[in-house]
Amino acid sequence: MKILLTGGGTGGHLIPLLGVVSELKKISKICKKVPRPCGTMEPANGKLKFLLITPASDFNQSISEAGIQIKTIKAGKLRRYFSWENLKDIFKIPVSIVQSLYYVYKFKPDVVFSKGGFASVPPVIASWILRVPIITHESDIVPGLANRIIARFASKILISFSAAEKYFDKSKVVLTGNPIRSDIAKGNAKNALKFFKLSSDLPTVLIFGGSQGAQKINELVLEILPDLIEKCQIIHQCGDKNYDEIKNKISKLKLKYPERYRVYPFIKEEMKDAYALAEIVISRAGANSLAEIVALQKPNILIPLSTSANNHQPENAKFFAEKNASLIVDETVDNSQDLADAIFKLLSDKNLQTQMQQNLLELSPSQNASRKIAEKILNI
C-alpha cells in the first residue's frame, strides 16, 4: 500500500506525521502476522510505502531518518493580507501543482494524508485530479484558509477538537484528537535529572515556544529569570535563531544559581524526559504543544502567538482556559511580572494543578489519536 503524505515546512505540520507513520507501521506488522482479524485495515500488498511532498525544510532530515521518501516543491503561501511576497508566491502555486502532479502520478498512491498548511494545497489538488482518495487533519479549533480549501477535496476530515466541526461538512468529519510523537509519553524523570544536571529537590518548569522558538517568550523569561531560579529550576528551549543572543544576555545577568537554568536551541530525544520531570509547562498555544500537554496532563501556562494565522493560537488558548485546563498570559497585554505571578501561583497551588490535570484528561478525545488516524487512512 502506498501512502502519500503532505504538510507544511514547519515542525508543527511534519512532526505529527511521524506519529501517524509509526502507528501505520505497527498495524502493518500485526496484519502480516494475523491476516483476517485485521479486517479492512490490512494493507493491500502487505507492505507500506511512504512519500512526503513538502517544501524544503530543516525538519526534512528527521523525516528521511524515519524511512520516508521526500520530494520538495516550490509551494507559495496563501496570505489573506497585503504582502509583496504574494506577487512572488502567486507564480509558485501553478508550478507546485505541476510538480505535484508529476510526483503523485509517478508514485501512484492508494491514499493521501494531508496534515494541512499552505504546502499541502498543491499535492492535494494534484491528487484530486488523479482521483486519489484524500484524508485531511485539522489540528486547531479555528481552521486556516489552506485547510478550508483542502477540506473541499477530502473524503474524510479529521479534527482534534469538537469545536472545529462547525467549519466543515459534518458528514465528512471524524473527531480523532491530534497526533503526537509516539515516544513522548515514555519519558523518565531520573534520566532528565541526569541529562540536564538538575536537582531533585526543586520543582522544574519546562519552557518552549514551539519547534522554532518564540522571541517574546524568551524576552519575558529572561526578565524574570533571577526571581524564578530562587524558587525553581528551568529547562528552556529557545529556538536556534535565538540561542546565541540568549547565551550572551545570560552571561551578563550574573545569576545567583546559574546551575538552575538550562537553555537549549532545540531539545530532541530528551524532550520526553523533560516533560516527565517538569511540574508545569509554559508554551505557545499551537496544536502540537497542546496535544502533548493534553496527553501528559501537564499543568500549564499558555502564551498564545498574537499574530498567528486566523487568530488560531488565541482561540486555542481561550478554549483551554474556558475549560479550566490552562492559565493564559497575553503577550499583547501582560508583562513579565504577570508571567512570574502565574508561574508562582501554579507552582504553589497543588489543588489547582490537580484540577487542571483532571480537566486536561477530559479534553482528550482519544488516548491514541495517531492510532485512530492510522486506522482511518488504512480503511479508506
Please name the amino acid found at residue 340.
Answer: A
- Residue 111, pLDDT above cutoff 80: yes
Q: Domain containing 48: what range?
A: 2-177+366-379
Residue 189 burial by Cβ neighbours in a 10 Å radius (0-12, 13-18, 19+): middle
Q: What mean pLDDT comes out for the span 330-343? A: 95
Q: What are phi and psi of 14, to 5 degrees?
A: -85, -40
Q: What is the pLDDT of residue 61?
A: 75
Q: 262 vs 79, 108, 352, 368, CA distance in Å?
A: 37, 47, 26, 31
pLDDT of 203 > 50? The answer is yes
Mark whether 196 and 345 lie in a shared domain.
yes
One domain, residues 23 and 163: yes
* Per-residue pLDDT tens over the stretch 281-300: 999 999 889 999 999 999 99
Looking at the fold, whether 372 and 256 belong to one and the same domain comes out as: no
Residues 211 and 123 in one domain: no
What is the pTM for the complete model shown? 0.85
Same-domain pairing of 163 and 18: yes
Q: Are 21 and 179 in contact (CB under 8 A)?
A: no
- Whether the pLDDT of residue 117 is over 90: the answer is no
Average pLDDT, the chain: 89
pLDDT number for residue 21: 92
- Read off the C-alpha cell for 375: 486506522
My answer on whether 231 and 343 are in the same domain is yes
Q: Write down the residue that cell numbers 488504512 correspond to.
A: 378
User: Which class for 341: exposed (0-12), middle (13-18), buried (19 or more C-beta within 10 A)?
Assistant: middle
- The model's pLDDT over 52-75, given as tens digits with 9 standing for 90+, comes to 999 887 677 778 888 899 999 987
Give the pLDDT score at 342. Answer: 98
**Per-residue model confidence (pLDDT) at position 49:** 95
Do 294 and 330 sit in the same domain of this protein? yes
The residues facing 156 across adjacent strands are 135
What percentage of the chain reaches a pLDDT higher than 90? 67
Q: What is the mean pLDDT of residues 135-147?
A: 92
- Pair 166, 207 in one domain: no
Give the CATH number for residue 239.
Answer: 3.40.50.2000
Structural domains in the chain (count): 2
Indicate whether 275 and 189 sit together in one domain.
yes
Q: How confident is the model at residue 44 (pLDDT cuts 50, 70, 90)?
A: very low
Predicted local distance difference test score (pLDDT) of residue 96? 92
Asked whether residue 270 falls in the same domain as residue 153, the answer is no
Task: Encode pLDDT of 149-172 as tens digits.
Answer: 999 999 999 999 888 999 999 999
Residues 88 and 191 in one domain: no
| Closest C-alpha to 97, from 6, 18, 1, 12 | 6
Q: What is the mean pLDDT of residues 22-38?
A: 73
CA distance 341 to 344: 5
Same domain, 194 and 338: yes
**String of DSSP letters for 104-172:** HHHH--SEEEE--SGGGHHHHHHHHHTT--EEEEE-SSS--HHHHHHHTT-SEEEESSGGGGGGS-TTT
pLDDT score recorded for residue 76:
63
